[in-house]
A and B are shown apart, each in its own frame.
Chain A
Amino acid sequence: MNSKTVFGLFVAVAVAQVAVPVGQIWKHEDILRTGTPYKFRTAPVDPYDAFRGRYVALNYADTVAPERSGDHLTYRQPAYVTLEKDAAGFARFTELSAQPPATGDYLRVQYAYREGTNQTARFTLPFDKFFMQETQAPRAERAYWEHGNRRGQTNHTYVVARIKAGRGVIEELYIQDTPIRQFLEQESAGK
C-alpha cells in the first residue's frame, strides 16, 4: 500500500473514531432538549467503574407491564413499553410488545420474565446508571437509605428522564423532590 492510501485510510479511521462520541453527544443532547420528561421511582446503590467513574446504580420499582397477547417474548429480547403520565408526572407502563407502537411515548427495554399466570411481565429499563463525582456517589446512596426509604415516603426518590423515539436520557436524580447534588449540599450545610 502506498503512503497516500495509508494516510487516507488513517484519516477515515480517525473521522470514524471521533464520529462515535460526537454522534452519541448529538443524539443524547437532542433527547434532553426535545424529549418528554417522565419520573421513575428508584433506589440508588453504589458500584464502581474503572473507566467511567463512580455511579449510583438505579433499581426501579414496578417495572411491570401487561404483555400484548401473541407476542412471544423471551429473556433479554428487546421489547417496547408504552408510557403514560399520572397526575404527579410519574411514568405508568401500559403495554409491553415486540414492536414499537405507532403513536405515543415508548421506551426500548429488555424483556425479563412473565409474572405468574397473569399476562404481566417484568423488564429492565435502559438507563440504570447515574454518574456522580467520586466522593458524592456513596453519600447519595447513604442519603437514600436515611431519607428516601422511610415507610410511606418511598415515592420520594426518583429520576426524571427525557423520552424520545424509544430512547431515554436521565436528566436528574431527586431525593425528597430535591435534585441529589443540591440535597447533599443542604445536608452538609445543615450538619
Chain B
Amino acid sequence: MNRNAVRWLHGELPELVSQGVVSAEVAERIRRHYGEPDAPGSAAKKWAIILFSILGAALIGGGIILLLAHNWEALSRPVRAVISILPLAVAAALGGWLLWTQRESTAWREGVGTAQTLAIGAAIALVAQTYNLGGRFDEFMLTWSLLALPVAYLLRATAPAVLYLVGITVWTGSVTFQAGNGVLYFPLLGAALPFLWWTSRGNRYHPRPVVVAWVLAITVGIGTGFAVERVCGKLEAWPVVFGGLFTLLYLVGARWWGEAGAAWQRPLQNVGALGAVGLAVVLSFGHVWDHGSWRYYWEDVATWRAGLQFAAAAVFPVAALALWVRSWTRRAWGEVMIGAVPALAVIGWAAALRDANGIGMILFNLYLFGLGIGTLVLGLRARRLGTVNAGMVVLAAVILCRFFDSDWGFLVRGVAFILIGVGFLATNLVLLKRKGAGR
C-alpha cells in the first residue's frame, strides 16, 4: 500500500466525519484497517541508516585495501600474513555473531556483508602482493566473486551479490580477451539468480531486489556479449542474440515486475526497452547487415566451443519468443511491439546469410516507424504523456537517422519524406473531419 495515500486518507478522515460523510465508528475502522501511517521521514531515516552502514563499511574496506596496496616494505612476511587475515576474521566473526544472535537488522547485515566482501578481496590481494604472484586480474576477480557469493545468501546482504555480478562480468570479459572460454559466464550467472528470486519473494518492489535487478540487467548485456563472442562476432548473429536478450529482459520485467509504482522499480523493463529500441535503431542502418565474413571464419565457428556458445545464445531469442506469444494472447500491445525485435532480427540475419542484406534494414525501418506510431497511439488512448513522448522520440530517431543516412539516395529519401509527411497530414484531416462529424 502506498504510504503517501495512507497518510492522505488519515488526514481526510476528521473532515469526512465532521461533514457526516462517514460515522466516527467507520472512520476508526478505516484507520485500523490501513494502520497508522509512518511518521513523515521515518522511512527515510530507516533507509539512511541502512545506506550509511553500507557506505561506511564500503569506505573503510576500500580504505584498508588502498592502505595495503601502498605496500609497506617495513612489514615482515609473518606480519603481512596476520594483516591479510585479520580484517576477514573480524568481519566473519561479526557475521557469525549476527546469525548466532539472530539479529534481523538490515543495516547490520548489509554493513557486515559489505565489510566481509571487501575483506576477502583485501586478503587475497595482499597475499598476491607479498609473494609476487603473477596471477592475472581476472583470476583474482573470479576467486573473490566466488568466495563472496555465499555471504549474500547467508547474511541476506545485497553488496556481495552486486560484487559477484560485476566480478563475473569482468572475469568473462578478461577471459575472452585472453582467448579463453567465456561461456562459463552462464553457470556463474545462474548461481546468483536464486538470490534475486529469494530476496524478491516478500516485496519484489523493495529497494534490495530492485538494486540487484538493476545490476543484473546492466551486467548481463555486457557479460553475454563476451560469453558468446564467437556467435556474435564470427557468426555475426549479434542482432539475434542481443535482440533476444533485451526483449527477454523487457518481457520478464513486464510479466513479473509489471505493477511497479515508480520508474526506478522497473530495472528490467527500462534496460530491456532501451536496449531493444537502441538495437533496432542500429539495425535500421544498411551497412550493419553487410555480412559474409562468417565464411572465412568457418573453421573457428565449427568447434565444440562455438557450439556450446551457440546453444547458450539460442536460449535468449527462444525464451523471448515464447514470452512474446504470451503477450499476444494477453493482448498486451506494448509488450507485443517491443517483443517483435528478435523475430525481425532472425529474419534479417537469415536473409543476410543468403546475401539479401537489404531485408533486415527495410524490416527495421518499417518496425521503428510502426513502433513510434503505435506507442504514440497507445499513449494518446491512455492519456499518458510519458508514453506519447516515448513514441515521439522513436519517430524522431528514425527520421533523423534516415535524413543523414547516406545508404539511401537523396531522391529516394526526399520522395519518401514527402510521402510520409503527406500521410500524416491526410490522417489529421480524416481525424478532424470525424471529430467534426461526431459533434
Q: Which residues of A contact B (CB under 8 A)?
A: 3, 6-7, 9-11, 13-14, 16-18, 20-22, 24-25, 28-29, 32, 49-55, 75-76, 125-134, 136, 169-170, 181
Contact = CB atoms under 8 A, between A and B. Distances in A.
Contacts of A10: 95-96, 99, 154-155
B293 interface: no
A51 B131 contact: no
Contact of B129 (A18, A53, A136): A53
B150 A51 contact: no
B128 A52 contact: yes
9 contacts: A6-B99, A10-B155, A17-B123, A20-B147, A21-B85, A21-B124, A28-B127, A125-B134, A127-B133
B100 interface: yes
Given A10-B99, A13-B154, A51-B121, A132 B134 contact: no
B84 A53 contact: no
A17 B102 CA distance: 22
Contact of B132 (A14, A20, A75, A130): A130
- The B contact surface, by secondary structure, is helix
Interface in B53-108: 65, 68-73, 77, 81, 84-85, 88-89, 92, 95-96, 99-100, 102
Contacts of A28: 127, 130-131, 133
A50 to B, nearest CB: 7
Given A10-B155, A52-B129, A131 B147 contact: no
A6 B154 contact: yes
Contacts of B68: 53
A179 to B, nearest CB: 11
Interface in B136-151: 137, 140, 143, 147, 150-151
A22 B133 contact: no
B100 A7 contact: yes
B162 interface: no
Contacts of B350: none
Contact of B150 (A9, A25, A55, A170): A9
Contacts of B95: 10, 14
Contacts of B151: 13
Given A7-B99, A21-B127, A76-B179, A131 B71 contact: yes
A3 B99 contact: yes
B125 interface: yes
A18 B124 CA distance: 9
B71 A127 contact: no
Given A9-B150, A20-B124, A24-B127, A76 B178 contact: yes
Contacts of A51: 65, 69, 121, 125, 140
B72 A133 contact: yes
B150 A13 contact: yes
Contacts of B99: 3, 6-7, 10
B81 A127 contact: no
A134 B70 contact: yes
Chain B: interface size category:
35 or more
Contacts of A128: 134
Contacts of B131: 24-25, 28, 32, 169-170
Given A17-B123, A18-B92, A29-B77, 20 more contacts: A3-B102, A6-B154, A10-B96, A10-B99, A14-B92, A14-B96, A17-B116, A18-B88, A18-B89, A21-B84, A24-B128, A25-B84, A51-B140, A52-B69, A53-B125, A54-B71, A76-B178, A133-B70, A133-B73, A134-B71
A21 B88 contact: yes
B92 A17 contact: yes
B72, B130, B131, B155: most-surrounded residue (chain A CB, <10 A): B131
B65, B71, B102, B120: most-surrounded residue (chain A CB, <10 A): B71
B134 A7 contact: no
A183 to B, nearest CB: 14
Nearest to B179: A76
Contacts of B143: 20
Contacts of A52: 69, 125-126, 128-129, 140
Interface string B109-129: 000000010001101111111
Interface in B176-222: 178-180
A13 B180 CA distance: 29
A9 B156 CA distance: 13
B71 A129 contact: no
A125 B150 CA distance: 34
B70 A170 contact: no
B84, B95, B99, B102: most-surrounded residue (chain A CB, <10 A): B99
Contacts of B124: 20-21, 24
B77, B95, B124, B154: most-surrounded residue (chain A CB, <10 A): B154
A12 to B, nearest CB: 9
A51 B155 CA distance: 25
Nearest to B149: A13
Contacts of B88: 17-18, 21
A18 B68 CA distance: 18
Contact of B69 (A17, A24, A29, A53): A53
A49 B138 CA distance: 12
Contact of B133 (A54, A129, A136, A181): A129
